Amino acid sequence: MAHFARNGGSLSPEYTVSLLNNTFEKLNILVSYLTFKVADRSRYADFINQHFNNQILKDFFKEEYLLSSQYKDLIKNQYVDYLVMIDYGKDSTLRKRKGYNLEKISQTYKGKAREYVLYSKMKGLVT
C-alpha cells in the first residue's frame, strides 16, 4: 500500500501493470489446467467462476487490461483455444471448419482486444 499513499491515493502505473500481470497469470494457469487436465468441458465455466475474480470476467475485454503482457498472451492464445475447445465439445464438426478460431474471436471478443488479437492472428497467417 506504500505505492498507494505515495501517489496521492492512486496506484502507480508500474504497480498497476504488475498487478494486472499477476492477475492474468493466475487465469492463464487456470485455463491451462482446464485445457490439459479436465475432460468434462461442462465444468469449465463453473471452475473459472469459482477460482477467479468475477468482476474481471464480467468485463473481460476492458481496454486497460491490454497494458498487461500476460493478458495479451492469454487472449491471443490460451483463451481462444479454451473457447474453441468448448465449442468442439458441443459440435465436433466445427473441427473441420477452416479458420474457426478467427471466426470465434470475431464473434466473442470486443473493442481493442478484438482488434489486437485479430491483427496478431492474421499477421501470423501472412508472415
- The tally of domains found in the chain comes to 1
Tell me the residue length of the chain: 127
- In tens, the pLDDT along 22-32 reads 999 999 999 88
pLDDT, the chain, mean: 86
Range of the domain at 70: 2-126
Query: Which range scores top for mean pLDDT: 7-16, 30-39, 46-55?
Result: 46-55
CA 115 to the chain's CA centroid: 14
Distance CA 56, CA 103 (A): 24
Q: Which of these, 74, 48, 50, lies nearest to 61 by C-alpha position?
A: 74
How many Cβ atoms from other residues are within 10 Å of residue 40's Cβ?
9
Q: How confident is the model at residue 14 (pLDDT cuts 50, 70, 90)?
A: confident
